[in-house]
Amino acid sequence: MALPAPATPDPSARHLAGRLALVESSVRAAVAHRRRDDPDPEDRFRGLYVSDAQADALLRPEKPSGPLVARAVPLDAGAAGRLEAVEAEADEAEAVGADLRLRRLARAFELSPLDVELLLVALAPDLDPRFERLYGYLNDDVTRRRASVGLALALCGVAAASGSGRSRLTAGRPLLAGGLLEVEEPDHPFLSRLLRVPDRVAAHLLADDAPEPALAPLLLDPPPSDATAGSLLARGLRAGARLAYLREGTGSDARGLAVAAFAELGLPAPVVLDLAALEPAGDARPVAGVAVREARLRGGGLVAGPIDPLAQHAPGTVRLLADVACRVVLHGARAWDPAWSRDVALLLEAPPAPSEARARAWRLALAAGAAREVAAGAGGPAGPPARGPAARGPEASTGSASPGLEPSAGPGRPPGPYRPESADPAVLAYRLSAPQIVRAAAAARLRAAAAGRRPEATDIGAGVRAQNAAGLERLARRIEPRASWADLVLPAAVLEQLRDLAARARNRELVLDTWGLGGASSRGRGLTALLAGDSGTGKTLSAEVVAGDLGLDLYVVDLATVVDKYVGETEKNLDRIFSQADGVNGVLLFDEAEALFGKRSEVRDAHDRYANVEVAYLLQRMERFDGTAILTTNLRANLDEAFSRRLDVLVDLPMPDEPDRRRLWERHLAGGLPRGDDLDLDFLARRFRLSGGNIRNIVLAAAHRAAAEGRAVTMADLVRGTDREYRKLGHLSTEAEFGPYFELVRS
Task: Name the most confidently modeled range: 250-264, 369-383, 403-417, 686-700.
Answer: 686-700
What average pLDDT score do residues 735-743 get?
A: 88
DSSP-assigned letter for residue 510: I
My answer on whether omega of the bond before 306 falls inside 30° of 0, hence cis, is: yes
**Each residue's pLDDT tens digit, 636-657:** 766 667 667 778 888 999 999 9
Q: Is the pLDDT of residue 412 over 70?
A: no
* DSSP E strand boundaries for 31-176: none
**Each residue's pLDDT tens digit, 426-443:** 566 677 777 778 888 888
Q: What are phi and psi of 608, to 5 degrees?
A: -65, -40
Alpha carbons within 13 A on the beta-carbon side of 388: 14
Measuring CA to CA, how many Å separate 339 from each of 233, 273, 311, 584, 595? 22, 22, 11, 30, 41
Find the helix or strand (DSSP H, E) in which 529 lies: strand 527-533
When pLDDT is cut at 50, 70 and 90, the band that residue 687 belongs to is very high
When pLDDT is cut at 50, 70 and 90, the band that residue 183 belongs to is very high
Exposed/middle/buried for 520, CB within 10 Å: 0-12, 13-18, 19+?
Answer: exposed
What average pLDDT score do residues 220-241 get?
A: 78
Do residues 651 and 498 make contact, with C-beta atoms less than 8 angstroms apart?
yes
Spatial neighbors of 439 by CB under 8 A, at least 6 apart, are 463, 466, 467
Q: Is the pLDDT of residue 699 over 60?
A: yes
Distance CA 425, CA 405 (A): 6
β-sheet bridge partners, residue 121: none
**What is residue 105's predicted lDDT score, i.e. its pLDDT?**
94
Buried b / exposed e along 700-709 (16+ C-beta atoms within 10 A): ebbbebbeee
Q: Cα-atom radius of gyration of the chain, to the nearest Å?
A: 37
Distance CA 260, CA 353 (A): 13
Do residues 526 and 627 make contact, with C-beta atoms less than 8 angstroms apart?
yes
DSSP-assigned letter for residue 331: E
SS3 476: strand
**Each residue's pLDDT tens digit, 284-312:** 788 888 999 999 999 889 999 889 888 88
Q: What are phi and psi of 516, to 5 degrees?
A: 75, 20
Alpha carbons within 13 A on the beta-carbon side of 353: 29
**Each residue's pLDDT tens digit, 544-573:** 999 988 888 898 987 766 777 777 777 787
Higher-scoring residue by pLDDT: 262, 637: 262
Distance CA 292, CA 290 (A): 5
> Amino acid letter at 426?
A
Do residues 542 and 531 make contact, with C-beta atoms less than 8 angstroms apart?
yes
Do residues 75 and 25 make contact, with C-beta atoms less than 8 angstroms apart?
yes
Spatial CA neighbour of 34 closest among 51, 54, 59: 54
Distance CA 533, CA 95 (A): 79
Do residues 307 and 331 make contact, with C-beta atoms less than 8 angstroms apart?
yes
Count of all residues that appear for the chain in the document: 747
Spatial CA neighbour of 549 closest among 590, 478, 495: 495
Distance CA 628, CA 646 (A): 13
Do residues 102 and 89 make contact, with C-beta atoms less than 8 angstroms apart?
no
**What is residue 195's predicted lDDT score, i.e. its pLDDT?**
95
What average pLDDT score do residues 137-156 get?
A: 88
Q: CA 94, 95, 98, 100: dihedral to nearest 10 degrees? A: 0
- Sorted by where each starts, the structural domains of the chain and their CATH numbers stand as 11-205 (no CATH), 216-350 (3.40.50), 355-467 (no CATH), 485-653 (3.40.50.300), 658-746 (1.10.8.60)
> Amino acid letter at 238?
R
Exposed/middle/buried for 283, CB within 10 Å: 0-12, 13-18, 19+?
Answer: exposed
**What is residue 197's predicted lDDT score, i.e. its pLDDT?**
95
Spatial neighbors of 506 by CB under 8 A, at least 6 apart, are 425, 426, 429, 550
DSSP 215-244: TGGGEEPPPP--TTTTHHHHHHHHTT--EE
Do residues 622 and 661 make contact, with C-beta atoms less than 8 angstroms apart?
no
Spatial CA neighbour of 326 closest among 270, 257, 409: 270
Q: What are phi and psi of 515, to 5 degrees?
A: -90, -5
Choice among 178-182, 392-396, 583-587, 693-697 with the minimum mean pLDDT: 392-396
Alpha carbons within 13 A on the beta-carbon side of 187: 0
Q: Crossing angle, helix 658-668 and helix 692-709, to 10 degrees? A: 30
Measuring CA to CA, how many Å separate 689 from each of 494, 653, 676? 19, 15, 23
Q: Is the pLDDT of residue 345 over 90?
A: yes
Spatial neighbors of 629 by CB under 8 A, at least 6 apart, are 526, 527, 528, 529, 581, 587, 588, 589, 590, 622
Of the chain, the percentage scoring pLDDT greater than 70 comes to 77
**What is residue 315's predicted lDDT score, i.e. its pLDDT?**
84
Distance CA 721, CA 729 (A): 12
Q: What are phi and psi of 629, to 5 degrees?
A: -125, 135
* Angle ∠(405,410,415) on CA atoms, nearest 5: 130
Q: CA 224, 230, 234, 237: dihedral to nearest 10 degrees? A: -90
Spatial CA neighbour of 67 closest among 30, 117, 23: 30
Do residues 429 and 568 make contact, with C-beta atoms less than 8 angstroms apart?
no
Spatial CA neighbour of 365 closest among 280, 293, 304, 437: 437
**Each residue's pLDDT tens digit, 74-106:** 556 667 778 888 989 999 998 998 999 999 999
What average pLDDT score do residues 356-369 get?
A: 74
Do residues 423 and 563 make contact, with C-beta atoms less than 8 angstroms apart?
no
Q: CA 320, 326, 331, 336: dihedral to nearest 10 degrees? A: 60
Spatial neighbors of 394 by CB under 8 A, at least 6 apart, are 367, 370, 371, 400, 420, 421
DSSP 556-573: EEPGGGT--SSTTHHHHH
**What is residue 430's predicted lDDT score, i.e. its pLDDT?**
74
Do residues 116 and 152 make contact, with C-beta atoms less than 8 angstroms apart?
no
